[in-house]
Amino acid sequence: MDKYVINGGKKLYGTVSISGAKNAAVAIIPAVVLCDEPCVIENLPKIRDVSVILEILKTMGAKVTRIGGDDARVKIDPRGIKSSKVTCEKLVGDMRASYYLLGALLGRFGSASVPASGGCSFCDRPIDLHIKAFKALGAKCDLLPDKVVLSSEALVGNDIDFDVVSVGATMNAMLAAVRAPGKTVITGAAKEPHVVDLANFLNKMGAKVRGAGTDVIKIKGVSELTGCTYGIIPDQIEAGTYMAAVAAAGGDVTITGVIPKHLESITNKLRDTGTTVEEFDEAVRIVREGELTCCNVKTTPHPGFPTDMQPQFVALLSGANGKSRVTESVWEARFSYIPQLRKMGADIIENGSTAHVDGVNDLHGAKVRALDLRAGAAMVVAGLAAKGTTEIADIKYIERGYEQIVEKLTAIGADIRRVTYVESSEDD
């Protein structure tokens, strides 16, 4: 097993470049199933979730070829996929976003059978809204204990209204609807950058999707989609995590290859902490010299403050002067990592959906665990800021979403190593 060992308390200086967005890639790759020709996807992040979804497509019959020996540029030929039944339970169960195969296969074949998806389980993650969308388009849905089975005579465009904003349900509805004859109108749609990226990819293949990035997405069904080359947007959350890391540890780092507009809610909150954020066309510069100030944060769907940055911000605010309140309004219970931060000296009390963070100036290294992807990122942020040595176990969760995090942090002066170890009961 491997863990990260961080000798913290070192300021960070230099430049770090951001990879393609995980949550766009994991939807765009299954979307290729809808196409009648091969597609080339560029700027893919080199992370475990992307390898797994590509592997799933291969087991289904797609041909996946790296272009120029680069994992970031891949040609996917979906023409070998002849069945809408996915059988690789273990791979599908290894990630949450495998649920996009439901929408993509339903849109392509009018049916789908997909094993239960897995992934980060920081709380209950229902798919009732996905099912509501499929049913609105004319599908019959059977939720079995180990798989979801969808069937239809023929899908037809329809109105789909979401009363809860869901990224996954919005994207699955788009996947299922792009080839359904007639007009689909999705109201209460999620507006995240990856929703817009999926719409742009679908449109590049010839789909007619309008309004992505607003509450209302209108889709006119088309009968075929043609191959294209498409580059994935930069990862908003990877960028935000490095922004938080620099603010927590102090220093002066330019983060390149980003879309500053996507980072606005994070930028605004960092400024509240006294961190300087300079914006350029495709970069942001983070400078933190003085002490950090407390601030209040509430997660909301885009363009609000992203839930996927909440744990990293709690880690950051653990070392800020004063009392901060962090309220989670997207997921019911996303604070399971807080006891790990307490091991490092953080003073945090949970009260329902709010974490009350009383900043301390002596965060110290400890042996902790990455309980899920963003919880793990929070341990890295805290470990960089804390004095002494932090050991983070279960880094497989971190590596499902962060490309070369050790290398990227080392390049900006962090003392972080990936170390192989044998787990003992003392590690708990």
Contacting positions for ligand EPZ (CB under 6 A): 23, 26, 96-97, 120, 125-130, 164, 166-169, 190, 307-308, 330-331, 373-374, 401
86: tokens are 């996915």
Q: Is 120 a known active-site residue? A: yes
> Shortest Cβ contact with ligand EPZ: which residue?
168
What is the distance of C-alpha 388 from the center of its chain? 30
In the complex, minimum distance from the CB of residue 373 to ligand EPZ, in angstroms, rounded to a whole number? 5
Reference 176, options 138, 204, 119; nearest CA is 138
81: Cβ–Cβ under 8 A, 6 or more apart, which residues? 33, 57, 60, 61, 62, 108
CB of 114 to ligand EPZ, least distance (A): 15
227 membership: H or E segment, kind and range: none
Query: For residues 172 and 254, which CB has a smaller minimum distance to ligand EPZ in the complex?
Result: 172
Residues with Cβ within 8 Å of residue 115, at least 6 apart in sequence: 86, 87, 88, 89, 92, 93, 98, 146, 147
DSSP H/E element including 252: strand 251-256
Q: Which of 120, 141, 228, 295 is catalytic?
A: 120
Return the H-helix or E-strand segment holding 231: strand 229-231
Q: What is the torsional sign of CA 292, 319, 353, 270?
A: positive
Shortest Å, Cβ 208 to ligand EPZ: 24
- Residue 388: CA count within 13 A, CB half-sphere: 11
For the bound state, the minimum distance from the C-beta of residue 169 to ligand EPZ, rounded and expressed in Å, comes to: 5
Least separation, in Å, of the C-beta of 276 and ligand EPZ? Answer: 27
| Residue whose CB is less far from ligand EPZ, 216 or 419 | 216
Judged by CB, which is closer to ligand EPZ: 292, or 371? Answer: 371
Q: Which is nearer to ligand EPZ, 96 or 408 (CB)?
A: 96
3-state secondary structure 258-313: CCHHHHHHHHHHHHHCCCEEEECCCEEEEEECCCCECCCEEECCCCCECHHHHHHH
Whose Cβ is closer to ligand EPZ: residue 202's or residue 292's?
202
Could you list the active site residues? 120
